[in-house]
């Protein structure tokens, strides 16, 4: 699932590079020509369509699923329950092993905002024997700040600025998912980057990549709602985002144990991100 997104696409490409048979599941109406040219089978299914999902999953040794948050919907949690329920029914019917993308803090049923969607997913898929990869904050989540970074500022909803937050890079998630897809047992893997990074650390990494000073600055709590509205988020979604930031800042959103460590550093990620944007200009 999610082959046209970040982690799903990375997982599919690793498996194809390993010359393993891969079936990507795309949304109805999406072209699969690019994936077919790479050697993948293509199926189409909406994430709420149990019959289509069952057909897409049947015959697979293992399935990678994720529950994309419905930011545009009126009730993101209701949407998450519908998707998780459809997955669970289809997985049981297809009789396939499953690895699901989850998140730091997914052990909590409340107080985590958007992350509650991964708790819902875990609760639905645990009875069908799924494994879960709980990822730290995606390094890619800083990329929308690139224009501000070029102006020397890193706006941060994380506070205080010197407190390290578990991060992770997509290649490390994909490598872990590929490994877990090939296991036969069910377990939860908590995954972080080579180190944890505070907003100050992130600013320093981008300063080095840009070759100019960058300073992290806290977005004050009173500005959060308007800042998210300015991002184009619908009113129904904003509250979940604010609750998530508060969950991180109060220490509620944490891993349950010491996480596995990926290879990617924030310095390497920032350097590659700046190089890609400069090539595109």
Q: What is the pLDDT of residues 144-188, one digit of tens each?
A: 999 999 999 999 999 999 999 999 999 999 999 999 999 999 999
- Local confidence band at 72 (pLDDT 50, 70, 90 cut-offs): confident
Residue 15's pLDDT is 98
Q: What is the pLDDT of residues 84-110, one digit of tens each?
A: 999 999 999 999 999 999 999 999 999
- Local confidence band at 279 (pLDDT 50, 70, 90 cut-offs): low
**Model pTM?**
0.95
- Local confidence band at 70 (pLDDT 50, 70, 90 cut-offs): confident
Alpha carbons 65 and 220: distance in angstroms, whole number: 36
Structure tokens at 2: 């999610």
Q: What is the mean pLDDT of residues 229-243?
A: 90
Residues 268, 270, 275, CA angle at the centre, nearest 5°?
95
Which letter, b or e, does each residue of 23-61 get, where b requires 16 or more Cβ atoms within 10 Å of its Cβ?
A: bbbbeeeeebeebeeeebebbbbebeebebbbbbbeebe
- Local confidence band at 27 (pLDDT 50, 70, 90 cut-offs): very high
Least confidently predicted of 69-78, 93-102, 123-132, 151-160: 69-78
Cβ atoms of 244 and 115 closer than 8 Å = yes
Whether 75 has a pLDDT exceeding 90, the answer reads: no
263 exposure class (CB count in 10 Å sphere: 0-12, 13-18, 19+): exposed
């Amino acid at each position: 699932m999610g082959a046209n997104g970040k982690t799903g696409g990375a997982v599919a490409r690793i498996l194809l590079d390993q010359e393993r048979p891969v079936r990507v599941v795309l949304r109805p109406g999406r072209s699969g020509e690019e994936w077919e040219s790479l050697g993948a089978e293509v199926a189409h299914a909406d994430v709420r369509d149990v019959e289509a999902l069952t057909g897409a999953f049947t015959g697979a040794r293992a399935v990678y699923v994720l529950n994309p948050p419905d930011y545009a919907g009126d009730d993101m949690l209701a949407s998450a329950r519908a998707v998780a329920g459809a997955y669970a029914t289809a997985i049981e019917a297809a009789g396939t092993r499953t690895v699901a993308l989850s998140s730091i803090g997914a052990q909590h049923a409340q107080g985590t905002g958007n992350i509650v969607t991964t708790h819902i997913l875990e609760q639905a898929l645990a009875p069908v024997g799924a494994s879960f990869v709980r990822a730290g904050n995606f390094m890619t989540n800083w990329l929308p700040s690139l224009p501000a970074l070029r102006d020397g500022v890193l706006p941060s909803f994380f506070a205080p600025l010197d407190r390290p937050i578990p991060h992770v890079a997509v290649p490390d998630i994909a490598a872990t998912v590929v490994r877990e897809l090939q296991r036969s047992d069910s377990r939860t893997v908590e995954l972080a980057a080579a180190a944890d990074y505070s907003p100050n650390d992130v600013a320093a990494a981008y300063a080095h990549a840009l070759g100019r000073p960058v300073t992290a600055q806290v977005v004050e709590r009173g500005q959060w709602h308007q800042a998210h509205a300015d991002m184009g988020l619908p009113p129904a979604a904003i509250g979940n985002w604010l609750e998530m930031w508060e969950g991180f800042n109060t220490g509620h959103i944490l891993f349950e144990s010491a996480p596995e460590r990926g290879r990617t550093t924030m310095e390497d990620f920032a350097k590659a991100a700046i190089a890609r944007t400069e090539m595109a200009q």
